[in-house]
Amino acid sequence: MIIIWDKVWMFVAVLLFTYLSKKITTSEPNKIKFHFYYLMFYFCASLLACIIWPFFLWKPKDIKNAQISARILSLVTKLYKLKWELRRGEILSEDQGAVIVANHQSALDILGMFNIWDVIGKLAPVAKKEIFYVWPMGLVAYLAGVVFIDRKNSKDAYETLKSTSEVMVKNKTKIWIFPEGTRKKDRSCNLLPFKKGAFVIAVSSQKPIIPIVYSPYYFIDEKKYIFDSGHIVIQCLDPIKTEGLKMEDIPELMERVKNQMEKTYKELTKEILTTLPPDYPHSLEERREHAKLVHE
């Protein structure tokens, strides 16, 4: 009887594996394939974290740890068949402390960061505290020098950012922050309201702000479960100096940076969508909606 049940479970397992394999390898969009692609990134990151975290104990919070992790994890790009195009990367390679602010659309933004890490050199990303508890990745991020802030406690967050800015100035390290605080889920060309943490750091340290804009992830559609290969442009804008600015100048500075980034995002949206083939799996209605947005 036990032997019969073993055969039954083996047969069910083979059927399930065959079914999932067909769903994942098919060119047609489906829910299983969509979620598998996201899980693949988290699985690879977790596997890497389990392997390398003991080595980081020798020099905890050393930025070289992060650079090593970024180089390895950037290889996930080949699994997704993504192409990252960095424009004006010479701005990022300058040996100086600066605050990088970037728009936030997806977890893949982190993968884009990994792919340009070597261009930047010394980099310390800022992330919300909750990510620390996503082990083992949270542990590796901590040992790699990622700065975690508690967004629910503004006083502690400010003190953390203050000490981070001191390291930025002393070691000529760049700090990477997503000022929107969370990812933008709609397809509009308007960014979410900015939080002021990045701008407080830049003004208090009198270091420049370097805006970075990711082009839209046209190849991902959560409603239709589309996740294809794609081309993403990472556009660096001119550094914005903060020398001579005071805390009362921060609201105007935030608005100026946000406007520049929205303008660039709109231009990139127009550029990307007009080069897509006619048979690309986006509806005509969506294309018209994008066309209307970029002409507003």
pLDDT of the chain along its 296 residues, tens only?
Answer: 556 767 777 777 778 778 777 877 777 778 888 888 888 888 887 888 888 788 888 887 777 787 877 887 787 777 788 899 999 999 999 888 899 999 998 888 988 999 999 999 888 888 888 888 877 788 888 888 788 877 777 667 767 777 777 777 777 889 999 998 777 766 677 888 998 888 988 998 899 999 999 999 888 888 888 888 889 999 999 999 999 999 999 999 999 999 999 999 999 988 888 887 776 665 444 555 555 554 55
- CA-to-CA dists, residue 129 to 138, 139, 150, 276, angstroms: 9, 12, 5, 38
CB proximity list for 79: less than 8 A, separation 6 or greater: 40, 44
What pLDDT score does 226 carry? 83
What pLDDT score does 1 carry? 53
Domain ranges of the chain: 23-294
Distance CA 84, CA 80 (A): 11
What pLDDT score does 209 carry? 96
What pLDDT score does 283 carry? 45
What pLDDT score does 48 carry? 81
What pLDDT score does 289 carry? 56
Q: What CATH number does the domain located at 23-294 have?
A: 3.40.1130
Integer-rounded Cα radius of gyration of the chain = 21
**Strand pairing of 123-128 and 209-214?**
unpaired
What pLDDT score does 84 carry? 93
DSSP lists the bridge partners of residue 126 as 147
> Nearest 5°: CA angle at 17, between 13 and 20?
140
What pLDDT score does 291 carry? 55
What pLDDT score does 90 carry? 94
Placement of tokens 């990088």 in the chain: 100
Distance CA 101, CA 139 (A): 24
